[in-house]
Chains A and B, each alone.
Chain A
């Protein structure tokens, strides 16, 4: 274990520091709130000669991800960052990056998608990209955003995986919120990420290859089967890298973070910063004798079905909190809810009362009192035996 140096950093700056230490070969990015600080700070490191990165200032996010795809196909270690509509503009290239098996690492500072226009946090941007073939990590704090970014490099570039990774954190809440962040020594990060040696490179003229070529009815299906196999087998790789990073940093890196779940009767399943709010509330309620808990998946793609089900299956009632709506999905629920309920069913857990709360859209504050009301609702559900409305709205003016 190495000793971290603690600095006051916001989540965006914490990621910039991780990128400085990773020193990627190429970064191509376009500014968008609230991601801007990530690349702004990193471009300063480039200008100051602190990193060796080729920085490509492009004209749009579509071009940013295109440049990342090209650079990664050339054999470079490539990183970028975006938010909201910027991510939406990358859509076409997200699938090309994963389909070509290019291990690009991208920070997404989560922000609501227009329309109506909004710059504040929700997960509608990255949740829409959950089927794009990228792995997704969600950070609760700036510290986790820093840690996840470094691990993402090793996960993406693992020879048995070779898939791009999205490292997400909550816009403004963690992105612009200054906290105490432990930064590993530069050499430790350099050694941890190591040198990237691409299996194939477009610049290797002695071993020429063609990438991103025509793939018709004869092989496209086989390549997609390979891609889903890689994602299906990703969890052990994520776990191995997390454990190695845990030993290095001394900071726990669970796939699914559980609080109070050994004996919890009522549990909240939630991603990112609101897990912190939920844990603070759960701690208070536990001090009053309530058996409540919090389940926070740090990894959303691949979906940690086994881990989540294992954590919640003994509960009397469970609430899944979603910061995005999957429009038209079951009851208009959110993606974490549909995946969690699907996991319960497929792993043979039936009869567990489970409700969905849509919260925090467009940056709406999620207060401790609201989380407390969720636990009270859960007790009501369990004691009455009536689930009531399957999808509820937290912090909405009714």
Chain B
């Protein structure tokens, strides 16, 4: 993934790019949207079948992949929309490793459980 410096948020109006043109394509990776999240998706990786449907459906490319396998979530950019949990087709046989609940491989947990 290309590395970019985070856009400066302190430029006075005369120094902004007219029309809001973005001259560094792909620099949205530096724009942290994970702070918007109120619900956090969590995955029981041991029971995941690696169907990749969550990876296909995620509107923010926030499902992390290595060698074609799902590894987790990019929590810096996941907005917590819950589409992955809604679309996950796999009913788990054992209680979820994170929530202890039955249901799907991906489940949503209140973000407040993770922040002080």
Contacts and interface: CB of A to CB of B under 8 A. Distances in A.
Nearest to B12: A222
Interface in A203-221: 208-215, 218-221
A209 B20 contact: no
A100 B25 contact: no
Contacts of A230: 18
Contacts of A226: 13-14, 16, 18
Contacts, number: 51
Interface in A100-118: 100-102
Interface in B86-110: none
B19 A100 contact: yes
User: Interface residues of A toward B: which range?
Assistant: 20 to 34
A162 B18 contact: yes
B13 A222 contact: yes
Contacts of B23: 209
A99 interface: yes
A211 B21 contact: yes
B9 interface: yes
A363 B16 CA distance: 45
A91 interface: no
B19 A219 contact: no
A283 to B, nearest CB: 46
B22 A213 contact: yes
Given A209-B25, A210-B25, A225 B13 contact: yes
A376 interface: no
Interface string B9-42: 1011110101111110100100100000000000
Contacts of B18: 101, 162, 223, 226-227, 230
Nearest to A98: B19
B25 A208 contact: yes
A219 B22 CA distance: 12
A215 B28 CA distance: 11
Contacts of A215: 20
A206 to B, nearest CB: 12
A200 interface: yes
A222 B21 contact: no
A229 B13 CA distance: 10
Nearest to B27: A210
A220 B17 CA distance: 11
Nearest to A222: B13
Contacts of B25: 208-210
Interface string B61-74: 00000000000000
Given A211-B20, A226-B13, 10 more contacts: A209-B21, A210-B25, A211-B19, A219-B9, A222-B12, A223-B13, A223-B16, A223-B18, A225-B13, A226-B18
What 4 pairs across the A-B complex have the smallest Cβ distances?
Answer: A101-B19, A210-B22, A222-B13, A225-B13
7 contacts: A100-B19, A102-B19, A211-B19, A211-B21, A222-B12, A223-B18, A223-B20
